[in-house]
Structure 1
Amino acid sequence: MRDARLTLTRGEQFVLPFDVSRRRLRGDPGHKVTRPLSPAAVAEGRRVFAAELAAVVPHPPEVDTMQLLRVPVARATTAALVPEAAPDAQAEIGDLVLGWIDSLAPIISARRPPRRWSRVARAEVAVSDRLVERLGAAGCEAPRGTAAALAAGIQVPIAAGAWCLTQLASHPEVLRRLRDQPATAEDVVWETLRLYPPSWLLPRIATEDVVIGTTPVSAYTPLIVSPFALGRLPEVCPGPEQGQADLDVFEPERWRVDGARPGAWLPFGVGAHACPGRSLGLALLADLVRWAAALDLLPQDAPGIDASRGLAPTPSVVGLGTCPHQPVVQLPQ
């Protein structure tokens, strides 16, 4: 665990090999392009998310969780990251980001990055350029870096939120407990991120000969830090030794154990390239889980894992009965 953390925090020795579109990086600046979001930005994102969720009316017999979350997450994240834009411009930018994410899908999932002149690559560049141009017109000072932050800040919570909903559907006892104890929403979020962190592989390349633990690593060696694997280490997460369920089991109550350290498996990374939207992402996911408590989610077979671009549930569809009442998100005063 210590070695994983050091690999991510030593930006000069271990650099990012490529950007969000799988283009090779020419050097690594070693600093955040986007700073961590302020409490005011998080509050604005949550406000927009609540409004967007209030407009969602899930209809039985089923709902596709990945599709359900696209617009609410996109508009909430854009409101938080681009506060200088007017609401109509924020909605347009959010839609452009979703279009860019869709155009990136075949690039990210391809076994090899497509050539720059291929149809897929040219289509992605065209969408990206339109997004960057719109961000600049809205007054964004660093449109290209903000575009990348928006793409990550939207796609990751969509996948994580889909995992939260599919897990609640597959574990009705957790859903019942959530209705009686709304404060356990954060436990559901952390347990979901432990088992299914969307950013499950964090690649780096060594820039010099180093020793990691007791293992010599030569310069230019590719390395992977995996929050997916770290979340199954007994020294990181409460398991049978603390009287909790096995670490392969979805059990949010494990985070009620004294000394539990949610996030110790680095689901948001750490160091210079840690996710700047960590606070917003956690808040949106907890709001989503509380919103879902009012839904009649039906037990499902455990979904499989689509690892073609991060981790997403497959299928992402959950059963839906007649909702006992209209779900709402209540923000703290």
Structure 2
Amino acid sequence: MSTTTAAPAACTRPAPAPRGHLWRGLLWLTWRQHRAALISFAALTAVLLAWMAVNAAELSSAIDLCHGPGCAKPVADERAGRIKDAADIAGYQLNLVVFLPAMVGTFLGVPLLAKEYEQRTLLLAWSQDISPQRWLLGKLALLGGFVALLSAALAAECLHVAQLVHLAERRSLFEGTLFQAGGWLPLTLGLAWGTFGVAAGAALRRLLPAFAVVLGAFGTRTWLLEQLRTHLLAPLTRVLPLAPDRTAGPDPLAPVPDELLLDGGKSPFVDAAGHLHPYNEVMSQYCGSIPDGRGDAFFSCLKQQGLVGIQQSYQPAARLGTFHLIENGLNLTVFALSLALAWWLVRRGRTTV
């Protein structure tokens, strides 16, 4: 009697899951792990947008309340008061948007990898049917799209509010918060610092140290740019002849200033030979004792010292877009370098804890 031996079954690997299934699973996982932060940021953005829209409507209404020298004093006073209140609120709103990217990097970017390392879940997550690089880039694409959508909405409203404050308070769009909230900077800042937080979490693998690095780096970046921003391009100079200033306040019909003066109102004086005399030196030694430093007596004093003009250093309005382009480029550079660093750390297989 013959016997037959069955051939051993071929060793087969399970078929990989369809790509659509992987993305659906990754989307569900991203939502499951980050839903608290996503809901919080979405709610905060909605509240901010509504608050900014209401205040912008009030500021626009106050601006349109009265114009020109024929504006009656009671109405002009009401207009000034409403503009001041609405502009102050707008300042708080814009400052909150400017510092929101630090919150994105801290509470959304850092936990993406650092929390996985702390909880020792990366080995399990990366042993499934998706590579570590695809896992990282997939989650970054989903979270980055979410951040980009919210940041774009805030950036658009910030542009509107900054323009209204510019018109209402006659402030240059180069100045402080008006500059930082304009030019779509909130969008590129959100992307840059969210990704920076991911890279910091991947490098340090602990939440608290990564939080400190993100907040410290953001604060340092903000301080440095405040010092360097107006000197990214060489300023222009001009000499204005001395003339008495008899205006009690800004002319409501005069153009709104768009340029930025770099000397803080203390431009050096110029004599007939073209030599410069520092503002503080002239005021302390010669003409600073004249009341208010204004009027014919003040300018007569300056002319007695042989001074004929003031040399101003300034950035012209035409450069505003260039400055925004430079800072957006810096933000996108931070985004690209942080993404490359996070990808490299994951590719190295740093899954041990």
Query: TM exceeds 0.5?
Result: no
Which protein is richer in helix relative to its size?
Answer: 2
More contact order relative to length (CA 8 Å, sep ≥ 6): 1
Structure possessing the higher radius of gyration over alpha carbons: 2
TM-score, normalized by length of structure 1?
0.28
